[in-house]
Amino acid sequence: MNLSTLFLIIVAGTVVAYFLGHRRSFAVAKPVGGVRNLATLPSYYASMMGLWALVPALMVVLLWSVLDSAIIDSLVKSTMPSEAKQLDDDSFGLIYNQVENVAVGIGSIDALGREYEPAVERLRNLNALSDKAMPILTIVVLLLGAALGFKGIKATHNARYAVERAFNIFLFVCSSIAIFTTFGIVASVLFESINFFQKVPFFDFVFGTHWSPQIAIRADQAGASGSFGVIPLIAGTLLISVIALSIAVPVGLMSAIYLSEYATTRARGIIKPALEVLAGVPTVVYGFFAALTVAPAVRRVGDSLRDWGANNGIDWLANLAVSSESALAAGMVMGVMIIPFVSSISDDVINAVPQSLRDGSFGLGATQSETIKRVIFPAALPGIVGGILLAASRAIGETMIVVMAAGLAANLTINPLEAVTTVTVQIVTLLVGDQEFDSAKTLAAFALGLFLFVITLCLNVIALKVVKRYREQYD
C-alpha cells in the first residue's frame, strides 16, 4: 500500500469518526433531555472523536517513516559479512547501496558477491514486513483512537476544551513554520559552506580576485584546481545593482512625488496601477526582454557610436567595445523592474509626512516644488533611504534577468559595457544540471548563497529599522 492510499484511508476514517461522534452525542443527549443538557455542542464531541482518530494515526505514519529505514539498516548490517563491517563508512555506504539495489531487483547478486545473499534476503524480508505492518498498525491505531474518543462522549464532559486546545496547537505549529524555514535556510547554506571552506580557504574566497570554478577532470589539464575568488562576482553584482538603482531611484521617486503631490485622484487611480504592472511581470520575462531586445539594442547603439567616432576622429569613441552581454543592458532592465518598488515605498513614506508641515511651508509663500524639496523630501528622507536599501537588496538578489542577460565571464571591471557576472548567476550556473555534493564547485554555490543571504538580510534589517523609526517619528 503506498503512502497516498494510506493518507486517504486516514482521512476517510477521520470523517467517519466525526459523523459517528455526532450521532453518538445525540444518543447521549437523549436520556438527559436533549442537546441543551450536554456540556457542549455535538459538533465538539464529533471533532474530538475525529481528532482522536486522526492524530495518533498520523503520528504512527510519521514516526514509522522517520525510523523505518534506520531500524532496517541496523538490522541488515548485522547480517553483512564481516569484511564489509570493517570497511570505513564511505565504502560501506557504497556496498550497502548495492545491497539495496539488488534487493529491489536492480543488478544481480553475482556481481555483488554471494556472501551478501543473507543481507539481501534480510533486507527484502524486512522491507516486505514494513510495507505490510505500517498500514495495519496505522489502521489499528486509528480504530483504537476512535474508540477512545467514542468513550469520551459523555454528557458531563466538555469536549470543547480539548478541541480548542488542539486548534490552538495547530495554529502555533503553523506559525512556527516561519522559524523552521529560516533555520532551514541557515542550516542548508551554512553546512555546505563549512564543507566548502574546508576545501577552499576562507580568505582565498573572500579576497580572491579570480573566479573560475570549472575544475578539470584530469589533473594535468590547465586550471586544474579551479579558483574561487569572490571579488569579481561582488564587483559585477554591485555594478549591475548600481546601474539598476540609478534608473529606478530617480524615476521611482519622481513618479511617487508627482503622484502623491500633483496628480489628481483620477490620474493617480489610472497611473498607479499602470506602473504597478511592471512589478507584476515575472522576472523571466524581463530576462528575455533584456537578452533579446535591450542587449542587442545597446550593442547596436555602441557600434554606431564607434563608427561615428572613427569617422570623426574621436579616439575614445572609436575604441568603444560593447559586449553582447553588457552589464548595462541587464542593469537597465533590472532598474525598470524595480521602479514600482521604489515608487510605492516612496509613496507610502511621502504620504506619512504630516499635512501640517506642508501647510507651514505654503504659509510662508513657498511654491509646491520648494515645499517638496525643502520640507517634505528632508522629512521623508529616512523612509526613502530605507526604501532604497530594500530596493538594493532586491537588485542584489535578483536572478533571472542576470542569468539570461548578463554573462558568465567573471571580469573584474567597472565598465558597464563589458560583460560581468553576479553572485546569483553563479549560484544558478553551478547548481543547474548534475551535481555531486562533494565537489568544491557545487559547494561554492552554497557559500555564495550564504554570502547572498547575509548581505540581503543585513540590508533588510537595516532598512526595516530605518523605516520603522521614521514611522514612529510621525505616529
Partner 1 sequence: MLDTAKETYQTAGEPFLDEPKMRVRNADVFYADKQAIFDVNIDIGKNEVISMIGPSGCGKSTFLRCLNRMNDTIDICRVTGELFLEDQDIYDRSIDVVELRARVGMVFQKPNPFPKSIYENVAYGARIHGLTDTKVELDELIEKSLHRCGLWNEVKDRLEEPATGLSGGQQQRLCIARAIAVNPEVILMDEPCSALDPIATATVEELIHELSENFTICIVTHSMQQAARVSSRTAYFHLGKLIEVNDTSKVFTNPEHQLTEEYITGRIG
Partner 2 sequence: MSTSTYNSGSDADQRRANRTKKRNAAEKRFQWYGRLSIAFGIACVLYLFTDIISKGIGAFTQTYINVEIEFDREMLRLGEAPTEKEIKAASFNSFFKKTLRAKFPEAQSRREKSQLYAMFSSDMPLILRNMVIEAPSILGTKQNVSMIADDDFDTFFKHTYGRDLNAEDRISRLSDFQESILGKLVDSGAVEKRFNTIFFTNADSREPELAGIRGAIVGSILTLLVTLILSFPIAVATAIYLEEFAPKNKITDFIEVNINNLAAVPSVIFGLLGLAMFINVFGLPRSIPLVGGLVLTLMTLPTIIISSRSAIKAVPPSIREAALGMGASKVQTVMHHVLPSAMPGMLTGTIIGMAQALGETAPLLMIGMVAFIVDVPGGISDPATVLPVQIFLWSDSPERAFVEKTSAAIMVLLTFLIIMNSLAVWLRKRLERRW
Q: Which does residue 174 touch among partner 2, partner 1, none (CB within 5 to 8 A, set by kind)?
A: partner 2
Shortest Å, Cβ 40 to partner 1? 7
SS3 331: helix
Instruction: Report the distance separating Cα 140 and Cα 118, nearest Å.
Output: 32
Number of residues lying near partner 1 (CB under 8 A):
10
Instruction: Report the distance separating Cα 127 and Cα 104, nearest Å.
Output: 10
Shortest Å, Cβ 118 to partner 2? 26
Nearest by Cα to 339 from 235, 256, 438: 256
Give yes or no for residue 363 binding partner 2 (CB under 8 A).
no
Number of residues lying near partner 2 (CB under 8 A):
86
Distances (CA, A) of 220 to 103, 215, 224, 226, 441: 41, 11, 7, 13, 18
Shortest Å, Cβ 141 to partner 2? 24
Give yes or no for residue 351 binding partner 2 (CB under 8 A).
no
Grid coordinates belonging to 220? 594535468
User: Pairing relation of β-strands 211-212 and 227-228?
Assistant: antiparallel
Rounded to 5 degrees, what are φ and ψ at 210? -125, 130
- Cα maximum dimension of the chain: 107
Task: Enumerate residues 284-343 that contact partner 1 by CB under 8 A.
Answer: none
Q: Which does residue 312 touch among partner 2, partner 1, none (CB within 5 to 8 A, set by kind)?
A: none
Give yes or no for residue 460 binding partner 1 (CB under 8 A).
no
Among 120, 334, 419, 445, binds partner 2 (CB under 8 A): 445
- The interface region with partner 2, picked from 15-23, 207-215, 219-227, 429-437 by CB under 8 A, is 429-437
Q: Which does residue 316 touch among partner 2, partner 1, none (CB within 5 to 8 A, set by kind)?
A: none
Give yes or no for residue 424 binding partner 2 (CB under 8 A).
yes
Q: Which does residue 42 touch among partner 1, partner 2, none (CB within 5 to 8 A, set by kind)?
A: partner 1
Give yes or no for residue 447 binding partner 2 (CB under 8 A).
no
Among 19, 170, 203, 308, binds partner 2 (CB under 8 A): 170
| Sequence-ordered list of residues with C-beta below 8 angstroms from that of 317, at least 6 positions apart, any chain | 305, 306, 308, 309, 310
Instruction: Report the distance separating Cα 273 and Cα 243, nearest Å.
Output: 25
Cβ closest to partner 2, residue 453 vs residue 470: 453
Shortest Å, Cβ 147 to partner 1? 25
Task: Enumerate residues 120-179 that contact partner 1 by CB under 8 A.
Answer: 158, 160
Shortest Å, Cβ 284 to partner 2? 4
Among 1, 12, 19, 34, binds partner 1 (CB under 8 A): 34
Distances (CA, A) of 69 to 61, 74, 192, 409, 437: 13, 9, 24, 45, 22
Task: Enumerate residues 174-203 that contact partner 2 by CB under 8 A.
Answer: 174-179, 181-182, 184-185, 187-189, 191-192
Counting Cα atoms < 13 Å in the Cβ hemisphere of 369 gives: 1
Task: Enumerate residues 178-207 that contact partner 1 by CB under 8 A.
Answer: none
Output the DSSP codes for 186-209. HHHHHHHHHHHHHHS-HHHHHH--
Instruction: Report the distance separating Cα 96 and Cα 90, nearest Å.
Output: 10
Q: Is 280 exposed, middle or buried (0-12, 13-18, 19+ CB in 10 A)?
A: exposed
SS3 228: strand
Q: Which does residue 31 touch among partner 2, partner 1, none (CB within 5 to 8 A, set by kind)?
A: none
Shortest Å, Cβ 35 to partner 1? 5
Indicate the length of the chain as a whole number.
Answer: 475
Among 6, 9, 16, 41, binds partner 1 (CB under 8 A): 41
Point out which residues bind partner 1 (CB under 8 A).
Answer: 29, 34-36, 38, 40-42, 158, 160
